[in-house]
Amino acid sequence: MNQKLPDIQKFKSKIFQKKNVLGYLLSFSLKLMEAKQAGLLFGTDDSFSNFLPPKKWDRGVMHRFDGKGVSGFFLKLFGKSIVKVKKFSPVQLYQTNEFGDRIETEGVISYILRNHHNFYQKGIKILIIDDQVCDKKNLDSSFSHLCVSSYDGVLFSFLSHIRVNINIVRQFKSKNFIAAYIPDYGAIVFNTVDQDLVSKTNECFLKEADLKKRLDILITAIESASLAYLGFAKGKPATQVIWRKERELRKTVDHLKEKETQLNIQKNYLRTVGGVTPEQLSMTPLSISDGVYAFIDMVGSSTIREDFKPRDFFLVLNLCHEISAKNAARFACRVDNIIGDSIFFQNVSIFDDPKQTRNPGLCERVMLMTCMLASVFNEIHLLTLGRHPIDRERRVATLVKNHGVNIQFRAGLEQGTALIGPLGSRKRKIITAIGKAADTASRLESSGIKNQIHITKAILRTLDNAMVSKDTRMIRDIALGEKNTEWLKTREYMPFFDFYKNLFNLGNEFVQKRGPVSYKEFSEDITYLIQCIPKTNTPTVCSGI
């Protein structure tokens, strides 16, 4: 076997200068695969015209041959006549049975030309037939199952449904056979490549690395030659080729844009509900100092659970969680985890969107989390009143009325340092926060009051000194997207609590001081509660309304 491979870079630079593009491809490929003979077939119909749209092909016509030595020279001169006399060319892609139905013709070449679209969309596929008969029981004089492997530029796979024309194998004394699709032209075939290349043991090629290298070069050569060959199209065929290519490009662009939109929506949604990337799952745990953490939990869930049927309870819970996830996305927060009727939120710098030119600082993170929790409470309240678009059938409101229950949540919020990293088993991991700040947020929630955010003195101080301005663009832009926010457009900056009061239609006394609180290992002499829902019970903020 010749270890020195033909120079593909030289081929790519010369192919566009050649007048005989296909002849150059044939001689290059013959040397590359070290084959005894090689041939080209073009796809066409009964007009025998070149450059027809592949979907119109109904036959493959032998175009030219090349080969080694005297037999190769003889084949160049008389090969086309021989295959015509022997009725090997043209290769019919379809035939009509006794009932008048069109059926697919068996054979490798017909299979390749028929499946041009699939081969082209998923990359040029190469079929390899070795010399071992796989199905001797069905061996006959015309077609038989032989061992057919395919290569798509990445992997080899075995195809069991293709049958090979034994008469062609016998005529050319073929020991093996390789064929590949040439876009917009037809196919290239090789008879008896170097036997060492395709030798197998237990369905594996002994020299797979070398075979892959040569096939990859062949694919590159076919792609380049196909483009160069299109330059010879003239008149109407040229116009049809250009229009066909442009139409396919437009379809591809539209398809990619649609997929990009879907992936971005999915990525953003997964990010807010705790979805993580493979890179994050393998990340080294970090100590994050600018994290903001919050928990919400349903008040009196055990009573509600006993009153409701299981499907009704899960309906309510899932709708509430959906509201929470959507608001987490709106306010640049993330659902760390869902634990029954409780949700753990976080706003941490390592999960910031890299596309943002300016990511929020610690103060803005606290503001975002506060507004996010208030929006969740307001929307859940609207859900119980039958006024939320997520439940247009008013199923939750009907359940609340029929069972005489209140569906309410409480929340706790804290900022500070925590460890962020992957946690779980090899098969199921989450990225979560562990530390004092997360623990405190959980204890504040557990000792909190319904429909209010329980905070420490440090959080109150942060919010009391916070300003909504052009420097806190994220929260300002979110507010400007709501209805009835004319009060914000004329202000260059605004104290956060004034902003919060206006955004949620609250009165002046919406922050209440609370006495000593103790829950498990957490205790504070003074904590505070932030009101979220107007006392008039007419909340105005709800995304989608």
- Residues whose CB falls within 8 Å of the CB of residue 314, separated by 6 or more in sequence, listed in order: none
Closest to 190 (Cα-Cα) out of 408, 31, 355: 31
The pLDDT > 90 percentage for the chain reads 43
Residue 218 pLDDT greater than 60, yes or no: yes
Whether 201 and 279 share a structural domain? no
Q: What is the mean pLDDT of residues 431-446?
A: 94
> Where among 246, 270, 294 does a domain terminate?
270
Q: Answer yes or no: do 211 and 246 share one domain.
A: no
Q: Are 286 and 223 found together in one domain?
A: no
| Of the candidates 426, 425, 433, 414, the residue with the CA atom closest to the CA atom of residue 285 | 433
Average pLDDT of the chain is: 86
pLDDT of residue 134: 47
Contact 38, 191 (CB under 8 A): yes
Judge whether residue 55 has pLDDT over 90: no
pLDDT in tens, 174-183: 888 899 888 8
4 in any annotated domain: no
pLDDT of residue 452: 96
| Residues 157 and 167 placed together within one structural domain of the fold | yes
Average pLDDT over residues 526-538: 85
Task: Give the pLDDT confidence of 290-321 residue by residue, as tens digits.
Answer: 899 999 999 999 999 999 999 999 999 999 99
Our count of domains for the chain comes to 3
The reply to whether 317 falls in a domain is yes
Domain assignment of residue 316, yes or no:
yes
Domain assignment of residue 278, yes or no: yes
Q: Using the predicted structure, report yes or no on whether residue 396 has a pLDDT greater than 90.
A: yes
For 153: left if phi > 0, alpha if psi spans -120 to 50, otherwise beta; the answer is: left
Per-residue pLDDT for 260 more than 70?
Answer: yes
According to DSSP, the β-strands at 204-205 and 163-165 are unpaired
- What letter represents residue 497's amino acid? F
**Residue 429, pLDDT score:** 82
pLDDT at 283: 84
Tell me: do 285 and 264 sit in the same domain: no
- Proportion of the chain above pLDDT 70, given as a percent: 92
- Same domain? 314 vs 367: yes
pLDDT of amino acid 137 = 43
User: Residue 540: inside a domain, yes or no?
Assistant: no
- At 387 the pLDDT is 95
Domain coverage including residue 246: 234-270
Q: What is the rounded average pLDDT of the residues 210-225?
A: 91
User: What does the alpha-carbon distance between residue 174 and residue 136 come to, in Å, rounded to a whole number?
Assistant: 18
The reply to whether 57 and 177 lie within a common domain is yes
pLDDT at 520: 86
Confidence grade of residue 449 (pLDDT, cut at 50, 70, 90): very high
Domain stops at, among 270, 298, 322: 270
Query: Which of 219, 245, 248 shows the shortest CA–CA distance to 233?
Result: 245
Give the tens place of pLDDT for each residue, 182-191: 888 889 999 9
Q: Is the pLDDT of residue 536 over 70?
A: no
Q: Give the confidence band of 131 by pLDDT, cuts at 50, 70, 90.
A: low
CB 189 within 8 A of CB 30: no
Q: Which of 11-15, 163-167, 494-498, 541-545 has the lowest mean pLDDT?
A: 541-545
**pTM score, whole prediction:** 0.56
| Domain presence at residue 6 | no
pLDDT at 410: 97
> In angstroms, what is the C-alpha Rg of the chain?
35
67-84 tens-digit pLDDT = 888 888 888 888 888 888
